[in-house]
Each structure stands twice: as C-alpha cells, then as structure tokens.
Amino acid sequence: MNKSNYLRKVDELGRIVIPKEIRKRFNILERDQLEIKVSNKKIIIEKYEFPISACMITNQESKENLTLADGKIILSKLGAEILRNELEVLLSSKK
C-alpha cells in the first residue's frame, strides 16, 4: 500500500518521526540533512543536496571532492595530497 498522507504528533522538543516508507523512498539515511522551508501556510521538508563545493586548497570544483569534519573541510584529491605532505613536514619537524 502506497500511502501519501501520514499523521504524526510533534513531541515536547518539536520533533516528528518521518515514516520508514518515506525515508526508504527518498533514500533518507540517519544523519542526512533535511531542508525545511515555509511557503504560505505549508511546511516543506526536502532532502538537502549539497552543492558542488570547491577544494579549500586548490579551488577545484568536483563531485569527487572529499567532504570531512561534518562538511567543514572540502578537499580535492590533489588538495588532500598537498595537505598530507605539508602535515608530514610539519609533524616531522616537531620531533
């Protein structure tokens, strides 16, 4: 049965549970980010798709860029290699 309307109660912290069928249908996984919008008298919840972000070191934009630290650090493969080399030099000089 493919339901399109669900009734959920809001808990004391303002949370609702998204039904398993919806999470499965839209591939919403634990820790995924959802975007909440308000339009007229409607609340719209959408799975947030991260835009392609540029590497913090090389400024390269690619879907293959690595996202680390909960999205705070974005590195291309080349940027990650440059950072690794610089960290190795920095850490070896501290010995």
pLDDT, tens only, 70-90: 889 999 999 999 999 999 999
CB 80, CB 58: distance < 8 Å:
no
pTM for the whole thing?
A: 0.51
Tokens (6 digits) for 89: 């030099």
Share of the chain above pLDDT 70, in %: 96
How is 47-67 classified by DSSP, letter by letter? EPPPPP-B-TTT--B-TT-EE
Same-domain check for residues 15 and 57: no
- Structural domain boundaries, residue 37: 1-49
Same-domain check for residues 5 and 44: yes
CB 36, CB 44: distance < 8 Å:
yes
Taking only the tens place, the pLDDT of each residue in 14-33 is 999 999 999 999 999 998 89
Q: Tell me what the mean pLDDT of segment 37-46 comes to.
A: 95
Same-domain check for residues 45 and 61: no
- Counts of helices then strands in the chain (DSSP H, E): 2, 4
